[in-house]
Amino acid sequence: MSQPELRICIDEDDLDAALRLDARRGLTSRPKYLPMRLHYDGRGSGLFSELTRQPEYYQTRSERAVLRDRAGEIAAALGDGPVSVVELGAGRAEKIRPVLDALAAARRLDAFWPFDVAAGQVREVIFELAAVYPDIYLGGIVGDFTRHLAQIPDHHDTRLVAFLGGTFGNFAGMERVQFLQGLREALRPGDRFLLGADLVKDPEIIVAAYNDAAGVTAEFNRNVLHVLNHRLDADFEPDHFEHVAVWDAPASTVDMRLRALKPMAVDVAGLGLDVSFAVGEEIHTGISVKFRRAELEQQLRDTGFEPAACWTDEREYMGVFLAEAV
């Protein structure tokens, strides 16, 4: 096997510039907002990992059950030839592993590319997997999958692009359309897209996942303020912001917010920006859309994909959708 290839599309300067732009734009908007991606520094990633182990947080367990139990069917649905796999937002590439194992067992796994913004983690993953899959081509893409989909490699196999973990639901409506259109432009007809999505269910179950009894979600939500304190020399008082998760039934969406518990004047020194908060004023910190199968499959059709299959866990909490680029 050749040495793993690393495609660097973004570096620390790019990430710093994006953070500054996001923070300035969001904190000077009405209402104020901060993008979900700002939560994920080292501390935030650790908190999210802890969150996935909370009893109320069904998403990770449910999706893993689908991928574990249906990996053979997913691999069979990709045809008979070799497959190159790209995982968007791969993290440690734990979510996709059952599918990789099923393809490898059938001697059909030709290549794997984790795609993420954290260069160190991408390097660790591809070198770790080199020992697990010694006969495949391994590479990594360090970039933003909303901007760098053109970097998806072409090994002239069937390509499977996986986007798991329910992250698709963090996009607003037009962002979802733009993402799907950009992905379709990056693929050839016949390539496949594997999408994990949180399905509409009892709102009490959904809301509980964002208000766990241990308070991990609340601490994860407040972490965005710790990020701004650390990265932009701000003086937010995170403990004086209340975590709020609101279920918007017509939009089938959880809206995450931080609500000021007292009047505050915040100095964001790194931006030369003063930000004031009234009691009860909120920062919108992210959304999580829940999907109905027919509606999501129509979104896929509208952007150049033909739905081929959908697998769910036994409670139908999470769906794993397979679609083909047409």
State pLDDT tens for residues 95-119. 999 999 999 999 999 999 999 998 9
CA–CA distance, 326 with 321 (Å, rounded to integer): 16
CB atoms within 10 A of CB 274: 11
Beta strands 273-277 and 264-268, pairing class: antiparallel
Contact assessment for residue 198 and residue 317, using Cβ atoms and an 8 Å cutoff:
yes
Q: What is the pLDDT of residues 219-275, one digit of tens each?
A: 999 999 999 999 999 999 999 999 999 999 999 999 999 999 999 999 999 999 999
**84-93 pLDDT, tens digit each:** 999 999 999 9
Contacts of 204 (CB under 8 A, 6+ apart): none
Amino acid identity of residue 98, one-letter, is P
Helix (H, G, I), strand (E, B) or coil at 221: helix
**What pLDDT score was predicted for residue 2?**
62
> For strand 137-142 and strand 109-116, is the pairing parallel, antiparallel, or unpaired?
parallel
Work out the pLDDT band at 155, boundaries 50, 70, 90.
Answer: confident
Q: What is the CATH number of domain 56-202+290-325?
A: 3.40.50.150
Q: What is the pLDDT of residues 280-324, one digit of tens each?
A: 999 999 999 999 999 999 999 999 999 999 999 999 999 999 999
User: Region 137-147: what's the mean pLDDT?
Assistant: 94
Q: What is the mean pLDDT of the chain?
A: 95
**Smallest Cα–Cα separation from 275: which of 8, 30, 16?**
30
* Whole-number pLDDT of residue 1: 53
What value does the mean pLDDT take over residues 5-26?
93
H or E segment to which residue 208 belongs: helix 203-209
Report the relative pairing of strands 305-312 and 318-325 from DSSP bridges.
antiparallel
pLDDT at residue 99, as a whole number: 98
209: Cβ–Cβ under 8 A, 6 or more apart, which residues?
Answer: 56, 57, 58, 59, 217
* Angle CA 176–177–180, to nearest 5: 85
DSSP-derived letter for residue 106 is: T
Q: What residue spans define the domains of the chain?
A: 56-202+290-325
Report long-range pairs for 214-219 (Cβ below 8 Å, ≥24 apart): 214/54, 215/243, 216/47, 216/50, 216/51, 216/54, 217/51, 217/54, 217/57, 217/243, 217/245, 218/243, 219/47, 219/243
Question: What is the model's pLDDT at position 5?
Answer: 86
